[in-house]
Amino acid sequence: MRTKLIALSAVTLALAIGINGCGNTEEGASTRPKMTLIVGNEGDDFYKAMECGAKAAANRLGVELDLQGPRAFDTSLQVQIVNSVAAKRPAAVLIAPTDDTALYPPLKQIHAAGTKIVTVDTTLKNKDIVAAAVGSDYVQLGAAAARRLNTLVNGQGKILVIASPPGVTTSDLSRQGLTDALTRYPGLQLVPTQFSGGDAAKSASLVAATLSVHPDLAAVFTLNGGDAQGVVTALREAGKQDRVKFISGDAQPFQVDQLKKGEVAELLLHKPFEIGEKGVEQALAAVKGQPVQPESTTSIVMATAANVDEPGVAKYLYRPC
Protein backbone atom coordinates (compact mmCIF):
# COMPACT_ATOMS: atom_id res chain seq x y z
CA MET A 1 0.00 0.00 0.00
CA ARG A 2 2.80 2.39 0.87
CA THR A 3 4.48 1.83 -2.47
CA LYS A 4 1.21 2.46 -4.31
CA LEU A 5 0.54 5.56 -2.21
CA ILE A 6 3.98 6.97 -2.99
CA ALA A 7 3.49 6.27 -6.68
CA LEU A 8 0.06 7.90 -6.62
CA SER A 9 1.47 10.94 -4.84
CA ALA A 10 4.17 11.23 -7.46
CA VAL A 11 1.59 11.15 -10.23
CA THR A 12 -0.52 13.73 -8.43
CA LEU A 13 2.52 15.97 -7.99
CA ALA A 14 3.46 15.59 -11.67
CA LEU A 15 -0.07 16.49 -12.72
CA ALA A 16 -0.02 19.51 -10.46
CA ILE A 17 3.27 20.68 -11.89
CA GLY A 18 1.95 20.13 -15.39
CA ILE A 19 -1.23 22.07 -14.68
CA ASN A 20 0.66 24.89 -13.02
CA GLY A 21 3.10 24.93 -15.91
CA CYS A 22 0.25 25.29 -18.39
CA GLY A 23 -1.22 28.08 -16.32
CA ASN A 24 2.06 29.96 -16.33
CA THR A 25 2.35 29.59 -20.10
CA GLU A 26 -1.15 30.90 -20.60
CA GLU A 27 -0.51 33.74 -18.21
CA GLY A 28 2.71 34.55 -20.06
CA ALA A 29 0.89 34.55 -23.37
CA SER A 30 -1.82 36.84 -22.00
CA THR A 31 0.77 39.37 -20.88
CA ARG A 32 2.23 39.70 -24.38
CA PRO A 33 1.56 43.25 -25.58
CA LYS A 34 -1.48 43.27 -27.87
CA MET A 35 -1.29 45.52 -30.91
CA THR A 36 -3.50 46.13 -33.93
CA LEU A 37 -2.27 47.17 -37.36
CA ILE A 38 -4.94 48.98 -39.40
CA VAL A 39 -3.86 49.36 -43.03
CA GLY A 40 -5.40 51.64 -45.64
CA ASN A 41 -6.69 48.87 -47.93
CA GLU A 42 -6.57 45.18 -47.06
CA GLY A 43 -6.29 44.11 -50.71
CA ASP A 44 -3.37 46.35 -51.67
CA ASP A 45 -0.01 44.61 -52.16
CA PHE A 46 1.82 47.55 -50.56
CA TYR A 47 -0.08 46.99 -47.33
CA LYS A 48 0.31 43.21 -47.57
CA ALA A 49 4.08 43.71 -47.65
CA MET A 50 3.78 46.07 -44.68
CA GLU A 51 1.83 43.41 -42.79
CA CYS A 52 4.64 40.93 -43.49
CA GLY A 53 7.17 43.24 -41.89
CA ALA A 54 4.92 43.92 -38.91
CA LYS A 55 4.29 40.19 -38.37
CA ALA A 56 8.01 39.44 -38.58
CA ALA A 57 8.78 42.04 -35.93
CA ALA A 58 5.87 40.91 -33.74
CA ASN A 59 7.07 37.30 -33.80
CA ARG A 60 10.60 38.37 -33.00
CA LEU A 61 9.61 40.70 -30.16
CA GLY A 62 6.85 38.63 -28.55
CA VAL A 63 3.97 40.88 -29.59
CA GLU A 64 0.42 39.66 -30.22
CA LEU A 65 -0.55 41.37 -33.48
CA ASP A 66 -4.02 41.71 -34.97
CA LEU A 67 -4.38 42.79 -38.61
CA GLN A 68 -7.27 44.95 -39.78
CA GLY A 69 -8.09 47.03 -42.86
CA PRO A 70 -11.00 48.27 -44.96
CA ARG A 71 -11.82 46.59 -48.27
CA ALA A 72 -11.10 49.88 -50.05
CA PHE A 73 -9.09 53.03 -49.33
CA ASP A 74 -12.14 54.63 -47.74
CA THR A 75 -12.14 56.90 -44.70
CA SER A 76 -15.60 55.99 -43.42
CA LEU A 77 -14.76 52.29 -43.55
CA GLN A 78 -11.50 52.82 -41.71
CA VAL A 79 -13.18 54.90 -39.01
CA GLN A 80 -15.58 52.00 -38.37
CA ILE A 81 -12.62 49.67 -37.88
CA VAL A 82 -10.91 52.10 -35.50
CA ASN A 83 -14.09 52.32 -33.43
CA SER A 84 -14.40 48.54 -33.25
CA VAL A 85 -10.74 48.17 -32.26
CA ALA A 86 -11.21 50.70 -29.45
CA ALA A 87 -13.36 48.23 -27.52
CA LYS A 88 -10.47 45.75 -27.41
CA ARG A 89 -8.19 48.31 -25.71
CA PRO A 90 -4.92 47.16 -27.35
CA ALA A 91 -1.62 48.37 -25.97
CA ALA A 92 -0.88 50.03 -29.30
CA VAL A 93 -2.54 50.76 -32.61
CA LEU A 94 -0.47 51.08 -35.77
CA ILE A 95 -2.43 52.77 -38.52
CA ALA A 96 -2.06 54.12 -42.04
CA PRO A 97 -4.71 56.88 -41.85
CA THR A 98 -6.74 57.32 -45.03
CA ASP A 99 -7.29 60.97 -44.10
CA ASP A 100 -5.00 63.16 -42.00
CA THR A 101 -7.90 64.91 -40.22
CA ALA A 102 -10.94 62.61 -40.18
CA LEU A 103 -9.11 59.83 -38.36
CA TYR A 104 -7.92 62.12 -35.59
CA PRO A 105 -11.08 62.14 -33.37
CA PRO A 106 -11.54 58.35 -33.12
CA LEU A 107 -7.81 57.82 -32.62
CA LYS A 108 -7.77 60.50 -29.94
CA GLN A 109 -10.41 58.56 -28.02
CA ILE A 110 -8.31 55.40 -28.17
CA HIS A 111 -5.26 57.38 -27.11
CA ALA A 112 -7.16 58.83 -24.14
CA ALA A 113 -7.88 55.29 -22.99
CA GLY A 114 -4.14 54.57 -22.82
CA THR A 115 -3.43 53.03 -26.23
CA LYS A 116 -0.24 54.17 -27.95
CA ILE A 117 -0.69 55.41 -31.52
CA VAL A 118 1.94 54.82 -34.22
CA THR A 119 1.29 55.87 -37.82
CA VAL A 120 2.76 53.89 -40.70
CA ASP A 121 3.10 55.29 -44.22
CA THR A 122 0.41 57.99 -44.02
CA THR A 123 0.08 60.06 -40.85
CA LEU A 124 -2.06 62.73 -39.16
CA LYS A 125 -1.95 66.49 -39.54
CA ASN A 126 -2.10 66.93 -35.76
CA LYS A 127 0.48 64.56 -34.32
CA ASP A 128 0.00 65.33 -30.62
CA ILE A 129 -1.37 61.81 -30.03
CA VAL A 130 1.20 60.07 -32.26
CA ALA A 131 4.03 58.36 -30.39
CA ALA A 132 5.94 57.67 -33.61
CA ALA A 133 5.42 58.12 -37.35
CA VAL A 134 7.15 55.72 -39.74
CA GLY A 135 6.98 56.06 -43.52
CA SER A 136 8.73 56.61 -46.82
CA ASP A 137 10.51 59.84 -47.62
CA TYR A 138 7.76 61.12 -49.90
CA VAL A 139 9.39 64.49 -50.47
CA GLN A 140 12.40 62.59 -51.80
CA LEU A 141 10.06 60.53 -53.98
CA GLY A 142 8.56 63.66 -55.54
CA ALA A 143 11.99 65.15 -56.15
CA ALA A 144 13.22 61.91 -57.70
CA ALA A 145 10.19 61.84 -59.99
CA ALA A 146 10.87 65.39 -61.18
CA ARG A 147 14.50 64.54 -61.90
CA ARG A 148 13.65 61.38 -63.82
CA LEU A 149 10.82 63.03 -65.76
CA ASN A 150 13.18 65.79 -66.85
CA THR A 151 15.59 63.17 -68.20
CA LEU A 152 12.92 61.10 -69.93
CA VAL A 153 11.44 64.07 -71.84
CA ASN A 154 14.82 65.68 -72.55
CA GLY A 155 14.06 68.68 -70.38
CA GLN A 156 10.99 69.84 -72.30
CA GLY A 157 7.29 69.02 -72.09
CA LYS A 158 3.98 68.97 -70.26
CA ILE A 159 3.58 66.72 -67.22
CA LEU A 160 0.37 65.29 -65.74
CA VAL A 161 0.34 64.23 -62.08
CA ILE A 162 -2.41 61.92 -60.81
CA ALA A 163 -2.58 61.90 -57.03
CA SER A 164 -4.79 61.00 -54.10
CA PRO A 165 -7.18 63.74 -52.92
CA PRO A 166 -5.71 66.34 -50.53
CA GLY A 167 -5.60 65.04 -46.96
CA VAL A 168 -3.62 61.89 -47.77
CA THR A 169 -0.26 62.95 -46.34
CA THR A 170 1.86 60.71 -48.55
CA SER A 171 0.33 62.18 -51.69
CA ASP A 172 0.52 65.74 -50.36
CA LEU A 173 4.22 65.38 -49.51
CA SER A 174 5.05 63.78 -52.87
CA ARG A 175 3.40 66.63 -54.75
CA GLN A 176 5.29 69.10 -52.57
CA GLY A 177 8.61 67.40 -53.36
CA LEU A 178 7.82 67.29 -57.06
CA THR A 179 6.68 70.92 -57.26
CA ASP A 180 9.68 72.20 -55.34
CA ALA A 181 12.09 70.20 -57.52
CA LEU A 182 10.48 71.35 -60.77
CA THR A 183 11.81 74.86 -60.16
CA ARG A 184 15.17 73.42 -61.29
CA TYR A 185 13.68 72.25 -64.58
CA PRO A 186 12.13 75.28 -66.33
CA GLY A 187 11.38 73.30 -69.47
CA LEU A 188 8.82 71.16 -67.67
CA GLN A 189 5.26 72.43 -67.39
CA LEU A 190 2.73 70.95 -64.99
CA VAL A 191 -0.79 70.69 -66.36
CA PRO A 192 -3.60 70.70 -63.73
CA THR A 193 -3.11 67.89 -61.23
CA GLN A 194 -5.88 65.28 -61.24
CA PHE A 195 -7.07 63.27 -58.24
CA SER A 196 -7.99 59.62 -58.38
CA GLY A 197 -6.71 57.80 -55.30
CA GLY A 198 -5.97 54.45 -56.87
CA ASP A 199 -9.09 53.95 -59.00
CA ALA A 200 -7.88 52.57 -62.35
CA ALA A 201 -11.08 53.39 -64.22
CA LYS A 202 -11.04 56.96 -62.96
CA SER A 203 -7.37 57.44 -63.75
CA ALA A 204 -7.97 56.17 -67.29
CA SER A 205 -10.70 58.75 -67.83
CA LEU A 206 -8.51 61.49 -66.33
CA VAL A 207 -5.66 60.71 -68.73
CA ALA A 208 -8.04 60.59 -71.70
CA ALA A 209 -9.58 63.93 -70.72
CA THR A 210 -6.15 65.53 -70.28
CA LEU A 211 -4.97 64.26 -73.67
CA SER A 212 -7.99 65.87 -75.31
CA VAL A 213 -6.92 69.25 -73.91
CA HIS A 214 -3.16 68.67 -74.11
CA PRO A 215 -2.48 66.36 -77.07
CA ASP A 216 1.21 67.24 -76.74
CA LEU A 217 1.40 65.77 -73.22
CA ALA A 218 4.93 64.46 -72.64
CA ALA A 219 4.66 62.42 -69.44
CA VAL A 220 2.43 61.12 -66.66
CA PHE A 221 3.39 60.54 -63.04
CA THR A 222 1.13 58.63 -60.64
CA LEU A 223 1.76 58.50 -56.93
CA ASN A 224 -0.41 55.44 -56.35
CA GLY A 225 0.20 52.10 -58.02
CA GLY A 226 -3.54 51.50 -58.23
CA ASP A 227 -3.76 54.19 -60.90
CA ALA A 228 -1.10 52.59 -63.10
CA GLN A 229 -3.39 50.21 -64.95
CA GLY A 230 -5.72 53.04 -65.90
CA VAL A 231 -2.88 55.18 -67.20
CA VAL A 232 -1.47 52.36 -69.33
CA THR A 233 -4.93 51.60 -70.73
CA ALA A 234 -5.64 55.24 -71.62
CA LEU A 235 -2.27 55.74 -73.32
CA ARG A 236 -2.66 52.52 -75.29
CA GLU A 237 -6.17 53.42 -76.46
CA ALA A 238 -4.95 56.88 -77.52
CA GLY A 239 -2.00 55.36 -79.39
CA LYS A 240 0.38 57.37 -77.21
CA GLN A 241 2.10 54.62 -75.25
CA ASP A 242 5.36 55.18 -77.13
CA ARG A 243 5.25 58.98 -77.03
CA VAL A 244 4.08 59.73 -73.47
CA LYS A 245 6.52 58.63 -70.77
CA PHE A 246 5.06 57.13 -67.62
CA ILE A 247 6.58 56.93 -64.13
CA SER A 248 4.67 55.43 -61.21
CA GLY A 249 5.08 55.00 -57.51
CA ASP A 250 4.76 51.50 -56.00
CA ALA A 251 5.83 48.05 -57.22
CA GLN A 252 2.82 45.80 -57.24
CA PRO A 253 3.19 42.61 -59.32
CA PHE A 254 1.17 43.92 -62.28
CA GLN A 255 3.30 47.09 -62.28
CA VAL A 256 6.47 45.05 -62.52
CA ASP A 257 4.96 43.29 -65.55
CA GLN A 258 4.18 46.70 -67.07
CA LEU A 259 7.75 47.79 -66.42
CA LYS A 260 9.21 44.75 -68.16
CA LYS A 261 6.88 45.28 -71.13
CA GLY A 262 7.94 48.89 -71.48
CA GLU A 263 4.49 50.24 -70.59
CA VAL A 264 6.01 52.01 -67.59
CA ALA A 265 9.38 53.73 -67.90
CA GLU A 266 10.34 53.57 -64.23
CA LEU A 267 8.92 52.64 -60.84
CA LEU A 268 9.65 54.39 -57.54
CA LEU A 269 9.72 51.71 -54.87
CA HIS A 270 8.94 52.13 -51.20
CA LYS A 271 10.03 49.76 -48.44
CA PRO A 272 6.74 48.68 -46.83
CA PHE A 273 8.25 45.62 -45.14
CA GLU A 274 10.70 47.84 -43.27
CA ILE A 275 7.94 50.33 -42.43
CA GLY A 276 5.81 47.59 -40.85
CA GLU A 277 8.79 46.17 -39.01
CA LYS A 278 9.93 49.49 -37.62
CA GLY A 279 6.37 50.46 -36.75
CA VAL A 280 6.04 47.50 -34.38
CA GLU A 281 9.47 48.20 -32.89
CA GLN A 282 8.54 51.82 -32.17
CA ALA A 283 5.12 50.84 -30.81
CA LEU A 284 6.68 48.36 -28.39
CA ALA A 285 9.16 50.96 -27.19
CA ALA A 286 6.28 53.37 -26.57
CA VAL A 287 4.30 50.74 -24.67
CA LYS A 288 7.33 49.98 -22.47
CA GLY A 289 7.98 53.67 -21.83
CA GLN A 290 11.29 53.51 -23.68
CA PRO A 291 12.63 56.24 -26.01
CA VAL A 292 11.04 56.32 -29.46
CA GLN A 293 11.99 57.98 -32.71
CA PRO A 294 9.13 60.47 -33.28
CA GLU A 295 9.57 60.48 -37.06
CA SER A 296 11.55 58.12 -39.24
CA THR A 297 11.62 57.59 -42.99
CA THR A 298 12.79 54.93 -45.39
CA SER A 299 14.47 55.76 -48.68
CA ILE A 300 13.14 55.32 -52.22
CA VAL A 301 14.51 52.78 -54.72
CA MET A 302 14.37 53.39 -58.49
CA ALA A 303 13.43 50.38 -60.62
CA THR A 304 13.85 50.09 -64.37
CA ALA A 305 13.43 47.18 -66.76
CA ALA A 306 17.21 46.82 -66.69
CA ASN A 307 17.67 46.54 -62.92
CA VAL A 308 14.34 45.24 -61.56
CA ASP A 309 15.60 41.65 -61.27
CA GLU A 310 18.81 42.61 -59.50
CA PRO A 311 18.81 41.44 -55.85
CA GLY A 312 19.28 44.95 -54.47
CA VAL A 313 16.10 46.09 -56.21
CA ALA A 314 14.03 42.90 -56.41
CA LYS A 315 13.93 42.54 -52.62
CA TYR A 316 11.77 45.67 -52.44
CA LEU A 317 9.07 44.44 -54.82
CA TYR A 318 5.74 44.08 -53.05
CA ARG A 319 5.12 40.44 -52.26
CA PRO A 320 2.84 38.92 -49.60
CA CYS A 321 4.43 36.59 -47.06
Looking at residue 224, its pLDDT comes to 86
Q: Does the domain at residues 138-269 carry the CATH identifier 3.40.50.2300?
A: yes
C-alpha angle 82/124/251, rounded to 5°?
85
pTM: 0.85
- CATH 3.40.50.2300 location in the chain: 34-134+272-296, 138-269
pLDDT number for residue 197: 78
Predicted local distance difference test score (pLDDT) of residue 10: 39
Residue 30's pLDDT is 56
Helices 200-213 and 228-237 cross at an angle (nearest 10°) of 40
Rounded CA separation 309/321 (Å): 19
**What is the pLDDT, as a whole number, of residue 61?**
98
**pLDDT tens, residue by residue, 251-301:** 999 999 999 999 999 999 999 999 999 999 999 999 999 999 999 999 999
Q: What is the pLDDT of residues 56-96, one digit of tens each?
A: 999 999 999 999 999 999 999 999 999 999 999 999 999 99
Short-list 71, 6, 16, CA closest to 40? 71
Task: Kindly state the helix (H) or strand (E) to which residue 236 belongs, with its residue range.
Answer: helix 228-237
- What one-character DSSP code corresponds to residue 160? E
Kindly give the parts of the chain with pLDDT less than 70.
1-30
Which fold does the domain 34-134+272-296 belong to in CATH?
Rossmann fold (3.40.50)
